Structure 1
Amino acid sequence: MRLLGRAVGRPRLPQRSTVPFTANCRRHLTNNGFFRVSEEVREALHAKRPVVALETTIYTHGFPYPENVALASLLESVVRVNGGVPATIGILDGVARVGMGAEELIRLTESAGKQSTLKLSRRDLGYVCGLRLTGKNFNGGTTIAGTMLLAHLAGIKIFGTGGLGGVHRGAESTMDISADLTELGRTPVTVVSSGCKSFLDIPRTLEYLETEGVGVGTFADGRSGSVDFPAFWSRDSGVKSPTTIENEIEAAAIIHAQHSLQISSGLLFANPVPVEAAISKEAMDSVIAEAVRQADASGASGKDNTPFILNKIKELTKGKSIPANRALIESNVKRAAIVARELAVLEDQQEEAQGHAISHFIPAMSDSPMVPQRNSRIATPSPESAVPSTPSISKPADVIVAGALAVDFSCDFAPILGSSDQKDPSLHTSNPAVINQTLGGVGHNIARAIHLLGPSVQLCSTVGDDLSGRAALSQLETESMQTSGIRTLPSPNRTAQYVAVNNAHKDLTIAMADMSILESSSPSSITTTWLNSLSMTHQTPKYVIVDANWTSECLHTWLAYARSINATTIFEPVSTAKSTRLLHSPTSNDSLTMPIVSIATPNTHELIALHNHAYEHSLFNSASWFRTIDALGIPSSGLRVPLAHTTSPALVDTGIPQQAIKLLPFIPTILTKLGPDGVLLTQVLRSDDDALSSADEAPYVLARNTNGDTKSRVGGLYVRLYRPEKVLGEGEVVSVNGIGDTFVGALAAGLASGRQVRDVIGFAQKAAGLSLRSRESVSPELVHLRGDLSR
């Protein structure tokens, strides 16, 4: 697919105010019992970052499991690589979800083909959501119409998909017209597709869209003059497109004008299938004619007509339609992400012109026009705003922690004696509760644990110039922690906040997080704000810990700094959605430095997300990856039996140890947190490691380097499951917030005291157990463990 082949000037925006618009003057829908927007998507929309909606009928009714899982992962990755945030939309257990996590996507894709998994358009949403109240829980993939509606309710403007529904042949008698067309006529969402399915009546489809007031344009894709509206598998249909769009910048300008004019209909941007995957119009015309003939003969009509014809086309093309289908979907999603990015640029410029913005997009220039780079959002104050404070890092630190600092609110449901529900709070009303406010955030919690255990630590984070920010700085001083690494940003930046609503058993019911302030940093601001100060004070910390709340570019900036001073790096993944930022290179996956980070501390879901991302992006195919894996000396018979002995058969059945081993070339030490089952250590042993000659460690050394490769310095493979000394009962657990962070902080404190990873894990588990019994995210009792490190 051709992208921007030459520099294109962005249009100048009118210098006048515009009113934020929602159709019918309706506000965007907030989360409720029927509708839920993921934390990542909400944060992105709030920060005005590019968001692209993705449908799910392609997973539930298009591709079988597990091919649909691979496709879902691929399309989300395409959005991320091109600078956007994916919002996959579907129905799980009768709840409409905008932005689905890895576990949710797997649940939905696994349900493909089941009777309770439905194909859902606008008309079906009330039915499937309403029946949830009667105990009937349905899963479903949303069609283009259903996805458009839910995307609009969340505030998403751009949607990338495969092919649009349309007017069926013979519709003058059957009235078979896709709801996608009427949805485009009443919902202000832009759809990027490869036109409509070519077995439909394309001229009548375009006529119907014109009647509905839908703007239709086709990307020139390097061609000059007027172009054909595409025919899905074919680039040409024989029908000229109403308009031609030169590039993504023109598309973004049209969308911006459409919303500024408060036009309540949508836009359809047709993106022709990539040349290398296209099937000629002549070849497809004969195939489609035969498929339609067989459909008529079989009586396949209504909702059964399209699946029947698609299956016949697959048969008649001998499977050639499938790779074309995949290629065009990927191309459309990529185009949608770049359009969303350019729209964010225009909207940001408009706000800046009105004096409303404190940040703007700086387009990243690429040496190759075929590989657009993700824009970075850099915080800059408006003329009336105070200049952000730049921390001056003065006191030398053994450990640098770069991550989130937030104000946490814990709301524990406290039912009134005699009430009907003694466990869960009620929705849509006020509930009695015990509310506690503490200082939190992943970065802060890790740094506080280290501070309580003794080593000197410096937290590098951001707060807003607001009441919460000032309270956070005051609390850090009260805790005797350094505040010189905290950057204060001017209004309207807000200090990160996390609100957890727990039931009467202290189990999480729902949580809300506003962590967008960390996203305002850029690689250049990290360098000027923190790294220059560290350099000027000649600080050389032994350990640098980074959490995944930073953007991928910022994360790699911190890691590059750590490598430059030969510091050991520790990565805390934070969540499944954010964990894969580690495997996104600032330029391309080919330029990933291996190992990327010294130590990572994922939970099982985050480990799976990392593994799946590496697999989908072919990171397991590089020569450097093979070299490390080969040097481990894994026997040809495999490791299933020895893994079952050193961990457990049940754990091996889940594939967790095997996936961790595959990630070792990128992360040579992986500590997978298994909750009450303990911690799994998977580690590459260096050739000089004492464990290779230790009788006590021999049961855990599952492979040894026997290929004579001395350059890699790989000695073997170490795998060990560390079970906790005690599993706390339900009544003993006070709060689960910050347990993983405490573990990471204690791990770093142990390493800073001169111990090896495998000798510190038990100590870190003990520290995490103290926080389990504490109302605070990090137990103050950790200070009593200092003596354990001095022994």
Structure 2
Amino acid sequence: MPPWICRACCQSLIPRSLIGRSTATRRALSTNSRFFHVSEEVQQAVAERRPIVALESTIYTHGLPYPDNLALASRLESLVRINGGVPATIGILEGVARVGMGTEELIRLVSSSGARKVSRRDLGFACGMTGIDGKGLNGGTTVSGTMILAHKAGIRIFATGGLGGVHRGAEQTMDVSADLTELGRTPVAVISSGCKSFLDIPKTLEYLETQGVAVATFADGRENDVDFPAFWSRDSGVRSPAVVRDEVEAARVIYAHVSLGLQSGLHFANPIPEQYSIPLTQMETTIAQALREAETAGATGAASTPYVLAKIKDLTGSKSVEANKALVEANVIRGTRVAVALQKLEIAGSEVANRPDRPESQVAGPGANYKSTGVSLKVSAPLSELPTKPEHVTPSTTTSKGAASSTVNSASTVFVAGSLNVDLSCDFTPQSSSSSHSPELHTSNPATIMQSLGGVAHNIARAAHLMGANVRLCSAVGDDLSGKAALEALTASGMSSAGIKVMPADSGSRTSQYVAINDTNKGLVLAMADVSILEDTKSDSAISTSLEHFWLPQLRQARPSHLVLDANWPPDHLSRWLRAGASTASHITFEPVSNPKSTSLFHAPKTHPLAVFPTPSLHLATPNASELAAMHRAAREADLFDRQDWWAVIDALGIPDSGARVQLSLATNSALVDQGVPQQSLQLLPFIPAICCKLGAQGLLLTQLLPAGDERLSSAAYAPFILSRCGNGTEGTLGVGGVYMRLFPAVEEVGGREVVSVNGVGDTLAGALVAGLALGGKGARVEEFVDVAQRAAVLTLKSAESVSPGLGTLRMLV
């Protein structure tokens, strides 16, 4: 099996509302003003306490020309994601202060002319005034402006290039950057390369001390005394007030600072990478000349810094530009690692703060002091008695029986039916003195335990939702603590819970759970799964009753354009879903889940066998090569390849009696032909007329049965991918036109160090593909969305999440 096509699980944390926590870890989020907008991705990350890094925008609007500034913005956001964080680029777009900007929003901001430079004093003007075109103003936020908006959104860490400071000669000009006063009153940790060396660094540090700002410099491998950096130079000749050894130590300082309730900010200076550092003596000579020319030109006040920077660039050539890029990238990486370390401290702190021996965690009632997941979940009533949040549950509410009402939003375009799990990821974390990389059997092992929401259907639905589709997830949870956690997490992510059935407590149904034990490299050592909630096929079982009276009525009422089924349904239930989907004329996609479960499709009841083209039971499947082989084997063992209707379609495909090895090798490659992948796809086409076989680093093989009269059969652009055309004259009766087969190469070669997690990559691809088809409307073709689906999969491959929160940046491509 290709390494990145695996069982899905989501690494998102269960929402904070379910996790015992101290006041030190509370984060505020306010989006009640029409002048302030926080992106969905950032809102979710704040709610789930994931590491977030704020990024300013003046570096783009006032630092580089378009499109170089857009390339830098994309690069810095990618660095945050690669290192395990969520980027939140902050700026003013058309009069709205935005925290977390999508690709389209960034393009509009960085390509606009006349964008303002926005600090604290300018926020009201930038959001309240309009330009000559009647639209709101655009602006890049400075350090101070970014700090305010980041804090308002609940973000603790902000990484940037350089910090403003006290200008030389400030005793006469009073020219002191607003960055310094903002650090004195806004509790955000700023990581930068210190002050630009044309500023007065000793006076800047003195001013920060007066403001009560904690200042430290990363040792970066150095011992003894360490200088506060001077932006382009690692040393300034001025000793740093404090030194931190690494990101973990910086995170401890931030955690203690916030725990004490201090309302001032912190500044961590990160020296420029050594290979890009410019000697201080060389820079001092250049700066002296730039300052003289600025004075001669009358560049004072706000005009001083841009003038001096431009002059330094002229005097140093490309050297200072390269240094600028290197230091801001280093700061973003360092800031993300600090944010990740801080997240771990906050999680550990909330667990300690809510141990059962603490008085505040003694909760009467069912579920008190639940500890088996490694975090304390506190609930004082059965799930069936706890109301959901009406503002999140669209369009239904939860009844006293624990089941959502059957009111359905007719605008739902994609239904996804299958598994919803609560997952536990236990990462082995040995003591520093240990050389072991794997946990020891038959004893307790130290670990970092993360609880998350997962399941194949959930991850597909989440991916489609982030891509912009209107999605409803149809699944079941038990009337237990894990079920409560799952519902809270789902609604916190902005997805509807109207399709989630809460099974009665007396049914014996338990919320699906998956426990993974990983080694120090996060490789799977052992996994345990309890996913039986969907598997009871007795006619009077709770799941069978729910299928008939809860999910299928919603499907028939909503008549979604697309239905996705994962293979966690047993054959009888899967068959009932397929028949219901046919009655609503929905486009049906099948996700095989695993080798054993993929075969359920071919074990349908004899009373309702799989139908073949031109009215097949389903339209698209997304297996990997191993699952495809299992499906092919199951179909053969079930004698489906002996059916006359199957033979009729196969004959009409126009494949020569002598075989098509040469054609298949040209369409794909000899290795895949030797493996049997294209041959298996062809033989399954009568039952599944479009098969997207996920091949990992080799890309994706799309095999489709085209109907008679399809314009692709006569298109010059499609000609290289038409494997065969109907040649037996049955076009008019069977409607078979030919076969389209295309091997799409991987969109990006992802190196080992870039791979953060392989979980959910295949599910992300399936969800993005279906979202594209749904949003593309009638006539949308699978091949049009393979590229964006692969790009979505790559984002997840580089993310700690099973579905990358960054999928929203791809919406414009569908």
Match in the other structure for 1:96? 97
Distance 1:499 1:169, change over 3 A: closer
Distance 1:746 1:298, change over 3 A: closer
- Looking at CA atoms only, which structure, 1 or 2, has the larger radius of gyration? 2
Separation of aligned partners in 2, 1:514 and 1:320: 55
Q: Please, what is the CA RMSD of the aligned residues?
A: 5.5
Residue type of the alignment partner of 1:321? S
Distance 1:481 1:325, change over 3 A: closer
Task: Check if 1:697 corresponds to 2:713.
Answer: yes
Separation of aligned partners in 2, 1:279 and 1:595: 53
Match in the other structure for 1:288? 287
Match in the other structure for 2:126? 128
Separation of aligned partners in 1, 2:340 and 2:410: 29
Match in the other structure for 1:187? 186
Residue type of the alignment partner of 2:715? P
**C-alpha displacement of 1:131:** 2.0
Match in the other structure for 2:83? 82
Separation of aligned partners in 2, 1:664 and 1:118: 48
CA contact (8 A) 1:51 1:86 kept: yes
Match in the other structure for 2:416? 447
Match in the other structure for 1:150? 149
Separation of aligned partners in 1, 2:277 and 2:413: 52
CA contact (8 A) 2:53 2:335 kept: yes
Match in the other structure for 2:58? 57
CA contact (8 A) 1:407 1:437 kept: no
Counterparts in 2 of 1:271-350, with a 5 A limit? 271-350=270-349
CA contact (8 A) 1:408 1:497 kept: no
Distance 1:308 1:563, change over 3 A: farther
Residue type of the alignment partner of 2:193? S
Match in the other structure for 1:19? 23
Separation of aligned partners in 2, 1:278 and 1:86: 27
Distance 1:522 1:33, change over 3 A: farther
Task: Check if 1:246 corresponds to 2:258.
Answer: no
SS at match of 2:109: helix
Residue type of the alignment partner of 1:495? E
Match in the other structure for 1:382? 376
SS at match of 2:229: coil
Counterparts in 2 of 1:235-634, with a 5 A limit? 235-355=234-354, 380-382=374-376, 408-410=393-395, 438=407, 445-448=414-417, 458-461=418-421, 483=476, 489=482, 494-496=487-489, 528=527
Residue type of the alignment partner of 2:242? T
Distance 1:513 1:76, change over 3 A: farther
Residue type of the alignment partner of 2:195? C
CA contact (8 A) 1:385 1:490 kept: no
Separation of aligned partners in 1, 2:344 and 2:196: 32
Q: Percent same amino acid among aligned pairs? A: 46
CA contact (8 A) 1:704 1:717 kept: no
SS at match of 2:318: coil
Distance 1:385 1:325, change over 3 A: same
Distance 1:407 1:48, change over 3 A: closer
Separation of aligned partners in 1, 2:109 and 2:183: 26
Distance 1:303 1:493, change over 3 A: same
Residue type of the alignment partner of 2:488? T
Distance 1:743 1:346, change over 3 A: closer
**C-alpha displacement of 1:228:** 0.5
CA contact (8 A) 1:407 1:439 kept: no
Residue type of the alignment partner of 2:123? L
Separation of aligned partners in 1, 2:374 and 2:265: 33
CA contact (8 A) 1:88 1:98 kept: yes
Residue type of the alignment partner of 1:284? M
Spell out, residue by residue over 1:38-67, the C-alpha distance to the aligned partner (whole angstroms, 9 max, x if none).
Answer: 111111111111111110001111111111
Separation of aligned partners in 2, 1:705 and 1:251: 56
**C-alpha displacement of 1:278:** 1.6
- The structure showing larger relative contact order (alpha-carbon pairs under 8 Å, at least 6 residues apart) is 2
Match in the other structure for 2:770? 744
Spell out, residue by residue over 1:679-734, the C-alpha distance to the aligned partner (whole angstroms, 9 max, x if none).
Answer: xxxx8679xx999xx9962415447499xxxxxxx976899xxxxxxxxxxxxxxx
SS at match of 1:331: helix
Match in the other structure for 1:197? 196
**C-alpha displacement of 1:632:** 8.3
SS at match of 2:216: strand
Separation of aligned partners in 2, 1:356 and 1:321: 53
**C-alpha displacement of 1:32:** 1.5
For structure 2, the 5+ residue unaligned runs are: 1-19, 357-371, 384-390, 397-403, 424-456, 459-471, 501-510, 519-523, 537-563, 569-589, 600-622, 629-664, 669-693, 723-739, 746-765, 775-780, 787-814
Distance 1:344 1:207, change over 3 A: same
Match in the other structure for 2:220? 221
Task: Check if 1:70 corresponds to 2:71.
Answer: yes
Separation of aligned partners in 1, 2:283 and 2:666: 50
Separation of aligned partners in 2, 1:52 and 1:702: 45
Spell out, residue by residue over 1:184-218, the C-alpha distance to the aligned partner (whole angstroms, 9 max, x if none).
Answer: 11111110000011111111111111111111100
Match in the other structure for 1:605? none
SS at match of 2:42: helix
Instruction: Give the alignment's TM-score, normalised by structure 2.
Output: 0.52
CA contact (8 A) 1:408 1:438 kept: no
Match in the other structure for 1:105? 106
Distance 1:198 1:322, change over 3 A: same
Equivalenced residue count is: 497
SS at match of 1:242: coil
Spell out, residue by residue over 1:579-619, the C-alpha distance to the aligned partner (whole angstroms, 9 max, x if none).
Answer: xxxxxxxxxxxxxx999999xxxxxxxxxxxxxxxxxxxxx
Distance 1:41 1:215, change over 3 A: same
Separation of aligned partners in 2, 1:77 and 1:385: 39
**C-alpha displacement of 1:27:** 6.2
Match in the other structure for 2:433? none
Separation of aligned partners in 2, 1:202 and 1:351: 39
Residue type of the alignment partner of 2:416? A
Spell out, residue by residue over 1:208-259, the C-alpha distance to the aligned partner (whole angstroms, 9 max, x if none).
Answer: 1111111110000011112010111111111110111111111111111111
Residue type of the alignment partner of 2:23? V
**C-alpha displacement of 1:88:** 0.9
CA contact (8 A) 1:186 1:264 kept: yes
Spell out, residue by residue over 1:619-674, the C-alpha distance to the aligned partner (whole angstroms, 9 max, x if none).
Answer: xxxxxxxxxxx9989xxxxxxxxxxxxxxxxxxxxxxxxxxxxx9997956xxxxx
Separation of aligned partners in 2, 1:330 and 1:92: 24
Separation of aligned partners in 2, 1:230 and 1:138: 35
**C-alpha displacement of 1:382:** 2.5
SS at match of 1:306: helix
Separation of aligned partners in 2, 1:486 and 1:745: 31
Distance 1:54 1:595, change over 3 A: farther
CA contact (8 A) 1:125 1:146 kept: yes
Spell out, residue by residue over 1:149-202, the C-alpha distance to the aligned partner (whole angstroms, 9 max, x if none).
Answer: 111111111100000011111111111111001111111111000001111111
Spell out, residue by residue over 1:737-762, the C-alpha distance to the aligned partner (whole angstroms, 9 max, x if none).
Answer: xxx989939989xxxxxxx968999x
For structure 1, the 5+ residue unaligned runs are: 1-15, 358-377, 390-405, 412-434, 449-457, 464-471, 474-478, 501-510, 547-558, 569-592, 599-629, 634-662, 670-682, 707-713, 720-739, 749-755, 762-791
CA contact (8 A) 2:22 2:353 kept: no
**C-alpha displacement of 1:72:** 0.9
